[in-house]
Amino acid sequence: MSNLPIFDVAGSAMNAQSVRLSTIASNLANADSVAGNPDEVYRAKQPVFRAEGVPGDASLAGVNVVEVRESTDAPLKRYEPGHPLADAQGYVYAPAVDPVAQMVDLISASRSYQANVEVFNNAKELALSTLQMGR
């Protein structure tokens, strides 16, 4: 039996999906963080996944998070002269985060995470039964 690359594969996928969940949490948490300057506004983050060979077997694809990219969408400009952070013209800038899209992404990420946990548990059970052979 090999050195169980399924665990590497499922583990890398769980890691990638948890990075995705963290960025979504960060995006949702900062959806209302306004700033008085368009350059200082929070920008939505999104991880970029790429299939990459696992250590034991280069032809078997695990998931690697290549980078976490920041959104280039222009911040939303709101006229709120009473806001303490408003600039000289009375505008504040809010990040261009779409909470609905983020929630959809959140569900997708947690489903994928669950699928990989299931794969992991299944593989673990099979490996244990194989190790106990003949007892």
Partner 1 sequence: MSDFLGIHGTALALREQRLQLLSANLANADTPGFKAQDLDFTSALQSALQPNAANGDAIEAASTGARFARPSSQPSVDGNTVDGEREHALFAQAALEYRASLTFVESKVRGMLTAITGQ
The yes or no reply on residue 5 touching partner 1 (CB under 8 A) is yes
> What values do phi and psi take at 79, rounded to 5?
-90, 105
Q: Which x/- pattern, by CB under 8 A, does the window 6-25 give for partner 1? A: x--xx-xx--xx--x-----
Q: Per rule CB under 8 A, is residue 131 in the interface with partner 1?
A: no
Q: Give the pair of three-digit tokens for residue 71.
A: 């959104």
Closest CA to 21 of 116, 130, 103: 103
* CA dist., res. 60 & res. 51, Å (int): 9
Amino acid letter for position 87: D
User: Which parts of this chain interact with partner 1 (CB under 8 A)?
Assistant: 1-2, 5-6, 9-10, 12-13, 16-17, 20, 49-51, 57, 59-63, 108-109, 111-112, 115-116, 118-119, 122-123, 126, 129-130, 133-134
